[in-house]
A and B are shown apart, each in its own frame.
Chain A
Amino acid sequence: MSAVIEYAPLLWQGLLTTILVTVLSGALCLVVAFTAGLARLSSHRIISWPAGVFIEVFRGTSLLVQMFWLFFALPFFGIQLHPLTAAVLALGLNEGAYAAEVVRGAIASRAKGQTEACIALGMEPALRLRRIIIPQSIPAMLPPFGNVMVDLLKNTSLVSLVTVADLTFRAQMIRSSTGQTTAIFITILVMYFVLSYLLTLLTSWLERRYALDRKALAAQRKESQLMKVGAA
């Protein structure tokens, strides 16, 4: 354990980098998910087709290949990305492609009656999506989004292979300089595990918060409080 304690500051920096990469690529992932997922649903071929190609290509090849491609192959086109940029781009695009399917699926499975009610009320497609269909689909998206985010977190360990100094990268450094393999790896396994667990907690909190009838529940609580006040 001595190496773990001695190198705790290094591991801490690695942890911060891992969290930074997760947050940045998680944000990119969400943007990509909604952009590609909604585009996929468009009735215009020129919009839905490129989105489909993007989704299939990024889901069909390995994340590691994509990351290496951005890091090692892109320079041949004169574009040299910072390792962190390449890592975040690859993670965000790759997990975004998976999450886009979540968005598409959740929206496509919305009851047909909802769209019809919107049409009957004269709501244009953009308004329909923004006010009715997307808000309703969020609860259905949250559990699979949670899975994508946990996957993303775990996959941040791959950024160590393109020289981003995350938790895994630091662990490898410490291992090669101290030889205390077991202690170091057990430590970071536990750290990753705690992070995934926290993400799971966050997801289930969001699920509860965005459950369809939360507003009504809140209103009822208020009402019953008022009644209590009135009775007192």
Chain B
Amino acid sequence: MRPSTEPQPLATPVDLAPDPVIRFQNVSKNWGSNQVLKSLNFEVAPGEKVSIIGPSGSGKTTILRILMTLETPSEGLVKVDGDVLWDVTAGQKVRETRQMRETRRKIGMVFQQFNLFPHMTAMENVIEAPIHVLGMDKAEAKARAADLLNLVGLGKHMNHTPPQMSGGQQQRVAIARALAMRPKVLLFDEPTSALDPELIGEVLNVIRNLAHTTDMTMLMVTHEMRFAEEISDRVVMFDNGAAVESGPPAQIFKDPQQERTRTFLRAVLQH
């Protein structure tokens, strides 16, 4: 929430659109001669649930990793919740700054491979960062972690370590761990594609609940088209490092405007 001490001017319809919580402005990313993102412009509104779809290698993961500061853009401006996360001019060497560290606190991420800490129990995984990063009191952190683990349906597995849990359970712990940091924006990178088919449902259920019950902004890369259609406010189709089409799920899936989207959907929905 932004402080509203200043008198608000009379709102025109244009001003009603809230400031984006994520803004990519002319962001490019190259690996050698491979241009993965091409001067990308992309915005997400607060509370919006956005799914990113597109063929392999189109740069979907790269967008999330730039937001999480796991990857450095080659050029461009990235703002999160009004704060600058990246401001890179081409050829410039970038170092991690305090501003960047503080801004990325607003973002959480759920990884394709879970990346749980294998030497810690589910509970310890969830309370680790709240205690040591947010400085939360241990008892409080534990109480909240218990709530979150219950929320993802793992109340009975708090003392289990990752090697003792199924992939679906691990991914649900990973979601609880990310939520424990109270992020404004939660990123999901193909959260179910490392899972056995029969375990996908339990993870999707947790994400669906989050989408319906929180006002957290969610940005999800997924190959689960029906799921994306069901929970998203907006779907963005990526190809070759650029957003080729963006719109409500009904439009993208039922009536895509771009030929590229049509062929992609035909290919993935065929089986």
Contact = CB atoms under 8 A, between A and B. Distances in A.
Q: Do chains A and B touch in the complex (CB under 8 A)?
A: yes
Interface in A129-166: 131-132, 135-136
Contacts of A122: 101, 104-105, 129, 133, 181
B161 A215 contact: yes
Interface residues of B, number: 30
A215 B104 contact: no
B68 A219 contact: no
A122 to B, nearest CB: 5
A116 B121 CA distance: 19
B248 to A, nearest CB: 29
Interface in B117-173: 117-121, 128-129, 132-133, 159-161, 163-164
A219 B69 CA distance: 36
Given A114-B117, A122-B129, A213 B109 contact: no
B63 interface: no
B128 A131 contact: yes
B160 A116 contact: no
A216 B104 contact: no
Nearest to B132: A127
B236 interface: no
Nearest to A133: B117
Nearest to B181: A121
Interface string A14-25: 000000000000
Contacts of B133: 121-124, 127
Contact of A136 (B104, B108, B117): B117
A212 interface: yes
B235 interface: no
A117 interface: yes
Contacts of A119: 68-70, 104
Interface residues of A, number: 22
B129 A136 contact: no
Given A113-B113, A131-B132, A120 B163 contact: no
**Which of B105, B119, B161 lies at the interface centre, i.e. has the most chain A CB atoms within 10 A of its CB?**
B119
Contacts of B116: 117
Chain B binding surface, main DSSP class: loop
Nearest to A210: B119
B161 A216 contact: yes
B177 interface: yes
A124 B69 CA distance: 13
A216 B111 contact: no
A218 B120 CA distance: 12
B27 interface: no
B178 interface: yes
Contact of A215 (B109, B121, B177): B121
B115 interface: yes
Contact of B164 (A113, A117, A123, A216): A216
B144 to A, nearest CB: 14
Interface in B71-127: 101, 104-105, 107-109, 111, 113, 115-121
A127 B117 CA distance: 14
B111 A117 contact: yes
A71 B112 CA distance: 57
A122 B164 CA distance: 26
A223 B158 CA distance: 12
Interface in A68-92: none
Contacts of A113: 111, 113, 115
Contacts of B128: 121, 123, 131-132
A127 B130 CA distance: 12
30 contacts: A114-B115, A114-B117, A116-B70, A116-B109, A116-B115, A117-B115, A117-B116, A119-B68, A119-B69, A120-B68, A120-B70, A120-B109, A120-B111, A120-B178, A122-B101, A122-B105, A131-B132, A135-B119, A136-B118, A212-B118, A212-B119, A213-B118, A213-B163, A215-B159, A215-B161, A216-B159, A216-B160, A216-B164, A219-B159, A223-B159
Interface of B: 68-70, 101, 104-105, 107-109, 111, 113, 115-121, 128-129, 132-133, 159-161, 163-164, 177-178, 181
Given A113-B113, A119-B69, A121-B108, 16 more contacts: A114-B115, A116-B68, A116-B70, A116-B115, A119-B70, A120-B111, A120-B178, A121-B133, A121-B178, A122-B133, A123-B133, A136-B119, A212-B161, A215-B161, A216-B164, A223-B159
